[in-house]
Structure 1
């Protein structure tokens, strides 16, 4: 079995079945109006693709959960791959998930990061950002993120960011309190200890003393004004604003076509990074 075939099998296992492992679509059984699509494009770097996605609807007891995530690895494909296979599993295992969802997500993020750090000998020194979105019964959206992969919701044509880009310059004080520093060399972005361009991430054991994996969490109601959400890695957001992305796909009814159009537009704007995009439509 080739590496690509193995990857396809793994993606099918977590609900990403498609003849093309880099593109796919699905729909809610609870509401025919809710659909999703995703598309991934490898960047121009010489290392293997380090972005991974989850996009699926899952029945849990009498509930339907939409599980969507972008994991953007750096110096590693092992860490984002591990997150794809285990993060949602760990979240849903938390006994408080239905009653104290935010608390359960924070705990699961911490447990998952601890497991990754235990496996650092196997995984190497890399890490990954994450943005996760859990759609509960088509009515409530819970978004969590570490790093600079981003979630944006569009209501009545207006884009609203639901995640926070955890940039080193924004968290300089907490990084320095942990004994680290933020470099700011001319021509380069701010970096933790002169290395990492995000202030929060999974993994990165060598920098962990100065990094956080504590997620920012937002709860957003899904109402009649909600049109779609976009989850994407920074390969998209480096070249497009939230509103530009929303405007780009507002008239595209097919979610996978919308995700593909966003990646193509990012490439047209000279993005050289890996680009991963999920679109969930509500109309």
Structure 2
């Protein structure tokens, strides 16, 4: 019997951001996020952001207290140690000591005026405002089709970042 041994590969420098939501008893929506993945609800046709984008400039003090720095190169966004454009993430081996992976959490009661929820990565939000995303899909009743439409719209706007999207429709 021939055995194959796979060499263990070293961990890369990459990491991730995330946004998640849970609906409790069909009434209370709890959202948690790390990084720049975002949760947005549509309430009576108006976009409301439920999560916080963790920008390095907003958390500069915490990053510096951990021995890191926030760069502000003209023409670029603020970056942790000149590399990462978010102050919170998980899995970034080389920056882990300067980052936080603690999520921010928010709660939203779901009433009849809440139409849908968008959970998406920054590939959507870098090319669309919250309201543009809501307007792009508010006429689409099928949640899967709405998410697909948002992704296609981000691609048509030449998004260069990762694009992930989930849409959740609420019964009215």
Q: Same fold (TM over 0.5)?
A: yes
The C-alpha deviation readout for 1:195-249, integer Å capped at 9, x for no partner, is 1111001121221221111110001111111100000000000010001111111
**How far apart in 1 are the matches of 2:13 and 2:143?**
35
Q: Secondary structure at the match of 1:235?
A: helix
Q: TM-score, normalised by structure 2?
A: 0.90
**How far apart in 2 are the matches of 1:207 and 1:259?**
32
The C-alpha deviation readout for 1:124-148, integer Å capped at 9, x for no partner, is 3321101111112321111000100
Query: 1:157 aligns to what?
Result: 45
Residue 68 of structure 2, aligned match among 164, 174, 180:
180
Q: Secondary structure at the match of 1:203?
A: coil
Residue 243 of structure 1, aligned match among 111, 131, 142:
131
Q: 1:253 and 2:141 equivalent?
A: yes
The C-alpha deviation readout for 1:25-73, integer Å capped at 9, x for no partner, is xxxxxxxxxxxxxxxxxxxxxxxxxxxxxxxxxxxxxxxxxxxxxxxxx
Q: TM-score, normalised by structure 1?
A: 0.56
The C-alpha deviation readout for 1:73-108, integer Å capped at 9, x for no partner, is xxxxxxxxxxxxxxxxxxxxxxxxxxxxxxxxxxxx
Residue 281 of structure 1, aligned match among 127, 144, 169:
169
**How far apart in 2 are the matches of 1:260 and 1:204?**
29
**How far apart in 2 are the matches of 1:183 and 1:166?**
15
**How far apart in 2 are the matches of 1:243 and 1:192?**
29
**How far apart in 2 are the matches of 1:267 and 1:208?**
31
2:11–2:93 CA contact under 8 A, matched in 1: no
Query: 1:219 aligns to what?
Result: 107
Query: 1:147 aligns to what?
Result: 35
In structure 1, the gaps of 5 or more residues are: 1-120
In structure 2, the gaps of 5 or more residues are: 1-8
User: Which 4+ runs in 1 deviate beyond 3 A?
Assistant: none
Q: Secondary structure at the match of 2:41?
A: strand
Question: Higher helix share goes to which structure?
Answer: 1
**How far apart in 1 are the matches of 2:123 and 2:14?**
18
Number of matched pairs: 163
Give the deviation of 1:122 after TM superposition: 5.1
